[in-house]
Amino acid sequence: MFKSLFGKKEKAAAMENVVSPMTGKVVKLEEVPDPVFSQKMMGDGMAVEPTEGVVVSPIDGEIAQIFPTKHAVGIRGNNGLEILIHIGMETVAMKGEGFEGHVAEGDKVKAGDKLVTFNLDLVKEKAESIISPVVITNFDSVASLTKSEESSVTREKSVLFQVKMK
């Protein structure tokens, strides 16, 4: 009884908007041409088929990892949410060609901050696909996930999905 009078009130976890890190066409994760993503081995989320070569942070947080080849970035949100943005399929084979990183591990970022720019035409030419998954890698910490019904998204402006943490 006293806990309810004097204890800290537990606040319910709020739904958090995860904005699209890229501008382009929305693709269901199940349609990504790589079983690691389409079978949700890395976690759940969505993908974007980009129409420009700019990737921004989808949430406020910290850069947990940026691959040496700059084709993928991991972000840990202020609420504990962990998101991996993987630019294209089989882009690691490009060995960083056409990719430029704008952040380093440990950097604090806000939603909309530029993370990576890339040469979209070069990725179209050299990669298996330009479809780019945006995946929650710590999905076991997620209470609920609501995915966008939109067919196209604009980086930083469109909500790609909403997450409620446990």
Tell me the CATH number for domain 20-150+157-165. 2.70.70.10
State pTM to two decimals: 0.92
Residue 89 token pair: 């399929």
Going by pLDDT thresholds of 50, 70 and 90, the confidence category of residue 5 is very low
Catalytic residue among 85, 86, 161, 163: 86
Q: Three-class SS of residue 8?
A: coil
Nearest residue to 76 via CA among 59, 100, 98, 99: 59
Number of residues that this document lists for the chain? 166
**Domain spans, the chain:** 20-150+157-165
102 is an active site residue: no
What pLDDT, in 10s, does the model give residues 109-124? 999 999 999 999 999 9
Q: Which residues lie closer than 8 Å to 8 by C-beta, 6 or more apart? A: none
Nearest residue to 46 via CA among 162, 164, 165, 160: 160
What pLDDT, in 10s, does the model give residues 51-98? 999 999 999 999 999 999 999 999 999 999 999 999 999 999 999 999
Residue 51 token pair: 């129409």
Is residue 2's pLDDT more than 90?
A: no
pLDDT of res. 12: 56
- Angle made by CA atoms 134, 120, 38, in degrees to the nearest 5: 30
Burial of 150 (0-12, 13-18, 19+ CB in 10 A): middle
pLDDT of res. 3: 46
The Cα 81–Cα 165 span in angstroms is 7
